[in-house]
Amino acid sequence: MTLVTGAAGFIGYHVAQRLLDEGERVVGIDNLNPYYSPDLKRARLRKLHLSPRFEFLRIDIADRQAVEELFARTRFETVIHLAAQAGVRYSVDYPHVYASTNLTGFLHIIEGVRQSQVGHLIYASSSSVYGDSGAVPFKVEQVTDAPVSLYAATKKANELMAHSYSHLFGIRATGLRFFTVYGPWGRPDMAPMKFTRAILNGEEIEVYGYGRMQRDFTYVADVAEGVVRTARRPAEGHRVFNVGFGSPVSLLDFIGELERALGQRARKRFLPLQPGDVVATHADSEDFWRMAGFRPRTPIETGVARLVEWYREHFRINQRVEAMRAQSSQAHAARAYSAPRR
User: Which uninterrupted H or E stretch holds 248?
Assistant: none
| Measured distance CA(40)–CA(144) in Å, rounded | 34
- Name the packing angle between helices 251-262 and 191-200 (round to 10°): 40
Give the H or E element holding residue 123. strand 120-126
Considering 35, 130, 151, 219, which one is annotated as catalytic?
151
Q: Residue 168's CB: how many other CB atoms inside 10 A?
A: 9
- For the question of residue 151 being annotated catalytic, the response is yes
Phi first, then psi: what are they for 202, rounded to 5°? Answer: 70, 20
Q: Is 174 helix (H, G, I), strand (E, B) or coil?
A: strand
Tell me how far apart the alpha carbons of residues 251 and 213 are, in angstroms, rounded to a whole number. Answer: 6
**What phi, psi does 269 have (nearest 5°)?**
-125, 115
Active site residues: 151
